[in-house]
Structure 1
Amino acid sequence: MRSPTRLALATSCALALVSTPTAAWSADTPKAEGKTASTAKAAPVDCAKVKCIALTFDDGPGKYADKLLDTFKKYKSKATFFLEGQYVKSRPAFAKRMVAEGHDIGNHSYTHPHLRELSEDKIREELQKTQDIVKKATGKYPTTIRPPYGEFDTRVQAIATEMGMPIVLWNGGSRDWATKNETAIYNEVLKNAKRDGVILMHDWVEQTVTVMPKLLAALQKQGYHVVAVSSLRGFKDAKAGDVYPVGSEKDKDLSSESPTGDPEAYAESPADGL
């Protein structure tokens, strides 16, 4: 039979083992404050108070979109992706990730035609087909339209109004589709950077994706917050069928920033996966 002294000592040791975790157990268990910090949402950027710029990407999801998304996540920045329905069909996981990580998504038609050359029924078909396939892939509908080549007319505006979406163009470019050169893309974007600027880029251009870490770092060093278009000053006032940025449709240099002619002549993204 154990003595009272021995029994008390054994009980004390057992209680100590239960109530005090070992060093190894503690190291494997996250601290409460660390867990709270990792799950806390970042405060939204107020572009009325800070300098913002939006980088926008057409014709996607391109085959390099996952790497691009990794970079935006690392730099705690947001983008806007104007998606083609045919590529959402072939890369639904990329589109789903864009939405899940808080980026804006817009409608860039299904097959990238010149909308002004189509009948009204065909324009509706191009846009609605993309709306439906994006919703199926991501759970959300695109909320804006960027017509291919930046081309539109009163019929396109009327249909955008019917669908409840503003038309988003741009007021600066990268000419990445033309140069496919990292230094040229970097310099062109920084040359065109301005507060509340909307920059046109393409996520199927490999050099754009490769230079993005350097570009985001440079923009942040200049005091820019890289945000989605919906965060920019003035966008909240854009109604269905309105053109944003205001006055961008009058820019004579607009068309030179966008690929022209047959998209198959420049887009490297389409061939794979369709």
Structure 2
Amino acid sequence: MLSDRHTSRRLLLVAAGMSLLGVAGCRGSQGADGGSAAPGAEAAGAASDAPAAAPASGPSAASAPPTASAPPTSPAPSAAPSVPPSAAPSAAVASGSPVAAPRKVSAAESKPVYELDAERKVVALTIDDGPDPRHTPTVLALLEQYRIRATFFLIGENAVEHPDLVREIAARGHHIANHTWTHPDLRSLSDAKIRDELERTSDLLNKATGKPPTWFRAPGGDWSTVSLKIAADLGMRNMAWSVDPRDWARPGTAVITDRILKDVRPGAIVLNHDGGGDRSQTVAALKTYLPVLIDSGYYFTAPPG
């Protein structure tokens, strides 16, 4: 009788142990859905409970910038209303990666544009030869003050030295355009050298801002048949000007101001400079003539692509 009790007790203990082993084995080999769990699934599950890492910046993480409006069929573009610059850089600008390919430019569109719609009291303010760490920040602050959107024609060798300024110009809502790499007289260069001057600058500005430039200006306004064609091949129209105060020669703040106020008219494209030397006279002139034009009923725009 005693022997039978011991035997029964041993059988109960063995059965209990087998039952416990079976439960443990099921817990270790099944996933949350009851299927077989792959090796490392438990570690992955633990990791999923941790806060998600912030996505890396780049083209896949950045929101695409607004698509440029289609160019008008006429060589002279219509002016878009001035928009207040934004102080916060877009994700595309911050990423510093190209997000768009150059667009097609027809032969008619490749002709230099000298003015906007003369039926509207609008002015296109263009700033050449930067970026320059001495004067560009002051110009940007002034444009921000008057809520003016301008077009900056940047020289590649300056842009590569000051990439933060390039991104700041774009982040504030201004239009960035190509002004060659070294500011040469294009009429004296070979076809290959002209292409290098333009293409190298466009590539840099594309990578810095996330958008390929859509406007080109030949240094000194000295276009050639070859430069017009190459600019069009790279997706750029050509912008000239109708008001030139010759501020690059530093004739004096009063002279720069008087020349602009005398020559400006509806649809004018005004040429100024923030790089290439001491541009303190230009900055002082901007402070004087911008409020005068605004009070006269003019508004400012960056021509559409």
Superposition TM-score, scaled by structure 1 size: 0.65
Identical-residue share of aligned pairs (%): 38
- Offset of residue 137 of structure 1: 2.2
Structure 2 equivalent of residue 8 of structure 1: none
Alignment of 1:55-74 (within 5 A): 55-63=125-133, 64-74=135-145
Separation of aligned partners in 1, 2:259 and 2:156: 29
Amino acid at match of 2:217: R
1:51 to 2:121 alignment: yes
Matched, 1:222 2:258: no
Measured after TM superposition, the shift of residue 140 of structure 1 is 2.1
More helix by proportion, 1 or 2? 1
Q: Distance in 1 between matches of 2:211 and 2:171?
A: 10
Matched residues, number: 188
**For residue 168 of structure 1, what is the aligned residue in structure 2?**
239
Question: Does 2:201 align with 1:127?
Answer: no
Contact conserved, 1:107 with 1:127, CA < 8 A, in 2?
A: yes
Q: Given that residues 50 and 225 in structure 1 are in contact (C-alpha distance below 8 angstroms), is that contact kept between their aligned partners in structure 2?
A: no
Say if 2:266 is the partner of 1:195: yes
Query: Aligned match of 2:220 in 149, 154, 158?
Result: 149
Alpha-carbon shift at residue 180 of structure 1 (Å): 4.3
Residue identity in the other structure for 1:62: D
C-alpha separation in 1, matches of 2:120 and 2:188: 41
What is the Cα deviation at residue 97 of structure 1?
1.2
Whole-Å separation in 2 of the counterparts to 1:126 and 1:163: 12
Aligned to 2:72: none
Q: Residue in 1 aligned with 2:175?
A: 104
By how many angstroms is 1:50 displaced?
4.7
TM-score (norm 2): 0.59
Q: Indicate if the aligned counterparts of 1:92 and 1:138 stay in contact, CA closer than 8 A.
A: no
**In structure 2, distance between residues paired with 1:80 and 1:88:** 15
What does residue range 67-106 of structure 1 map to in structure 2 within 5 Å?
67-106=138-177
In the alignment, residue 150 of structure 1 is paired with which amino acid? G
Q: Give the CA deviation at 1:139.
A: 2.1
State the shift of 1:214 in Å.
Answer: 1.9
Q: After superposition, give the CA deviation of every residue in 1:173-219 in whole Å (9 maximum; x if it has no partner).
A: 12111134111111111111111100111013111112322211001
SS in 2 for 1:229: coil
Q: Secondary structure of the residue that 1:172 maps to in structure 2? A: coil
SS of structure 1 residue aligned to 2:265 = coil
Return the alpha-carbon distance in structure 1 between the equivalents of residues 190 and 154 of structure 2. 21
What do the CA deviations read for 1:64-86 (whole angstroms, capped 9, x no partner)?
A: 10110000011011111111000
* Whole-angstrom CA distance in 1 between matches of 2:251 and 2:151: 21
Correspondence for 1:40: none
- What SS does the aligned partner of 1:194 have? coil
State the partner residue of 1:34. none
**Partner Cα separation in structure 1 for residue 123 and residue 258 of structure 2:** 16
CA distance in 1, matches of 2:204, 2:232: 20
CA distance in 2, matches of 1:229, 1:187: 24
* Secondary structure in structure 1 of the residue aligned to 2:257: helix
Matched, 1:209 2:283: yes
Aligned twin of 1:37: none
CA contact (8 A) 2:250 2:281 kept: no
Contact map agreement 1:131 1:141 (CA 8 A) in 2: yes
Counterparts of 2:161 and 2:263 in 1: how far apart (Å)?
33
Partner of 1:27: none
**Rounded Cα–Cα distance in structure 2 between residues aligned with 1:229 and 1:85:** 21
